[in-house]
Amino acid sequence: MYSNEELAKIAKRIRRNIIKMVTNAKSGHIGGAFSATEIAVSLYFNEMNITQANVLDKARDKFVLSKGHASALLFAVLSEKGFLPEEELLTFRKINSKLQGHPNMHYVQGVDMSTGSLGQGLSTAVGMALSYKIHNQDFRVWSLIGDGESEEGQIWEAAMAAAHYKLDNLCAILDMNGLQIDGDVTEVMNPFPLDAKFKAFGWHVLYADGHDYDQLQAAYKEARTIKGKPTMIIAKTVKGKGVSFMENDYMWHGVAPSAEQAEAALKELED
């Protein structure tokens, strides 16, 4: 197990790499990658049993980045885990690079599902969890979704199926940063109250500060104890977390920083 201090250092390195990737590509999604950084770090380094040695093993935990536009986060995490050399991150979104704007499982080892069309990732996570159930395999499936993404009808079809099949080996984390590409989610297409909706659909609902490792780990631990229903962790987060001029600003949903802005961001993310 990594300490909170070690996880925080990993998260800073990941955020720095995301800034470099998106700046170099002149495109990408920083805001939603930064809001979910602690969620991904705590999953990959202290929760899921994914390593380079078992990555091809079907019998291990799986992760589905349903909000696939945050691919820079996933690639930076996989690099930290040793699946990608750090220098390859700078090929992000370049022609002929395997590090596409949305993750592709056929190109990058460690990517468990190709995602991008919002809403579909949770459905594939449901299928994975159901397969584990059918084959009596004691592994878990984790999926990260966005609050803006939860405006998609397919999220609720997946939610209904997960509860119907009693997928207690499925845990989804909702990155609730409150913002999407066009502004506040409540003004674009208000999906709230999300907790009441998931409860009505038959899910066990937990809450956590999405930037607090202790709260996240406690939620993961409780999720493992729930029987007969899937778990949704509603994680309150800050879009653009970690860089002062990006925080809580929806304009940083899918905009690349200038060279000057990137330099300022990297300065804030120094150890």
Q: What is the pLDDT along the chain (271 residues), one digit of tens a residue?
A: 899 999 999 999 999 999 999 999 999 999 999 999 999 999 999 999 999 999 998 889 999 999 999 999 999 999 999 999 999 999 999 999 999 999 999 999 999 999 999 999 999 999 999 999 999 999 999 999 999 999 999 999 999 999 999 999 999 999 999 999 999 999 999 999 999 999 999 999 999 999 999 999 999 999 999 999 999 999 999 999 999 999 999 999 999 999 999 999 999 999 7
Please tell me the total count of domains within the chain: 1
Boundaries of domain holding 173: 4-268
CATH number of the domain within which 199 lies? 3.40.50.970
Please give the pLDDT value at position 178.
98
CA distances from 148 to 28, 47, 166, 262 (A): 17, 26, 26, 26
b/e sequence 49-88, b meaning 16+ C-beta within 10 Å: ebeeeebeeeebbbbbbbbbbbbbbbbbbbbbbebbeeee
Task: Read off the pTM.
Answer: 0.97
Neighbours of 271 (CB within 10 A): 7
Please give the pLDDT value at position 19.
98
| Residue among 271, 152, 174 nearest 231 (CA) | 174
CB 75 within 8 A of CB 42: no
